[in-house]
Structure 1
Amino acid sequence: MTTTLQLTLFGTQACHLCEETLYILRPLTGNGVAVREVDIVTDQTLLERYQLRIPVLRREDTGEERDGPFTLGQLLDWLGDALGEEG
């Protein structure tokens, strides 16, 4: 039984690093990972929290956040336990 890992990507539409992050996430989406995009400009609290950090990826299982940019390898290392890639 495969459990889907839920991730939230905080960013904005005018953020090229956010677009790069979505590109990096593409191979994982549908392979045990689901990504929800949140545009921080729609919420003042989110804007204040994330505007200088985006893109920010949050694991919904742990609440842990990772500020971008990052490579696919770094992302896989960060998600390894949830993806069943333990040694």
Structure 2
Amino acid sequence: MTVLTLFGTTACHLCEECLHLTRPLEGNGIVVRQVDIVESPELLARYELRIPVLRREDTGAELDWPFSLSQLLDWLADALGEEG
């Protein structure tokens, strides 16, 4: 299982778009958890101008918005068992 953390805020329409893009991956070994950056000064300072950002908890790699479903799948290819 690969855990993705979505850094964003509750009032972010781009974060909602990102979450919608990840939904079809859930149940295929991908789990998405959301973190509201407003609740942490450190996260707010790091991600304020970048959100939404997905982070792979297995590798620490981050993917900044905007990205397409194709780019997301490429980024997760090893976790999904696909060959590049």
What's the TM-score, normalizing by structure 1? 0.93
Q: Does 1:13 align with 2:27?
A: no
Post-superposition offset of 1:81: 1.1
* Cα separation, 1, equivalents of 2:40 and 2:10: 14
Q: Does 1:36 align with 2:36?
A: no
Aligned to 1:72: 69
**Matched pairs, number:** 84
**8 Å Cα contact 2:28/2:80 also seen in 1:** no
CA RMSD, Structure 1 to Structure 2 (Å)? 0.8
Post-superposition offset of 1:74: 0.6
Give the unaligned 5+ runs of structure 2. none
Find the residue that maps to 1:58 and give its secondary structure: strand
Q: Does 1:51 align with 2:41?
A: no
Give the unaligned 5+ runs of structure 1. none
Runs of 4+ with >3 A deviation: none
* Cα separation, 2, equivalents of 1:21 and 1:14: 13
* Cα separation, 2, equivalents of 1:81 and 1:29: 15
User: Identical aligned pairs, as a percentage?
Assistant: 71
What's the TM-score, normalizing by structure 2? 0.96
Whichever structure has more helix as a proportion of its residues is: 2
**8 Å Cα contact 2:50/2:64 also seen in 1:** yes
